[in-house]
Amino acid sequence: MAALQPGTKAPDFSLHTTPDQAVSLHDFRGRRLILCFYPADWSPVCGDQVTLYNELLPEFRQHRAELLGISVDGVWCHLAYAKHQKLHFPLLSDFEPKGDVARGYGVYHTPSGTSERALFVLDEAGTIRWSYVSPIGVNPGADGILGALEAMEGTRAS
C-alpha cells in the first residue's frame, strides 16, 4: 500500500474525537492542515511525537496550519491520553470501520492492525502538498512538516 502523494486531493472523512463530537476534513477547508497518523496512544515513541507537536502548535499556527492526530484507538482512550499528555489538538478515532481512513490515505499497516506513522500536509483547498511515512519505530520529528509549510508560503491555493 502506497501513501497518497503530493498533488492528490485528500479524501474527506468524518471521525469522532469525543463520544458526541465528530470532526470532518471539509470543516478545515480554507485552512492548512497537518494530518498525523500514528500507530497507537500510549506507546512511548508516539508519546514523544505528540508531545513534540503539542509544543509546536504556535509555530504551526504561524503558518496558519491546524493539526489533527489520527489513530485506530477508541474515543475514551483518546480522551484519557490527551488529558494525560495535556494535548491542545484533537485526536481522531479511526475506529469503525477500523483503520478505514488510514486505508484511504494508503497508510494502514495490516500486520500490526494500526496505521503507519505517516504525515500529510494539506493546503487550503484540501490538496496534499507533502506526505511522509516514517519507519514505524522512528519518530519523524517536525522538521519535515515545517519545511513543507514554508514551501507553501506565497503559493496560497484558492
User: Which residues are tagged catalytic?
Assistant: 46
Closest CA to 57 of 92, 87, 94, 20: 87
Residue corresponding to grid cell 515545517: 146
Count of residues engaged in binding another protein, rule: CB under 8 A = 27
Determine whether 9 is exposed, middle or buried from the number of CB atoms within 10 Å of its CB (0-12, 13-18, 19+): exposed
Cell of 60: 504551526
Give the nearest distance from C-beta 24 to another protein in angstroms: 27
Give the nearest distance from C-beta 143 to another protein in angstroms: 5
Q: Considering only residues 92 through 151, tell me which ones interact with another protein, judged by CB under 8 A.
A: 131-135, 138-144, 146
Residue 3 contacts another protein per CB under 8 A: yes
Query: Which is nearer to another protein, 18 or 51 (by Cβ)?
Result: 51
Q: Strand pairing of 32-37 and 65-71?
A: parallel
**Which residues contact another protein (rule: CB under 8 A)?**
3, 45, 48-49, 51-52, 54-56, 59, 85-88, 131-135, 138-144, 146
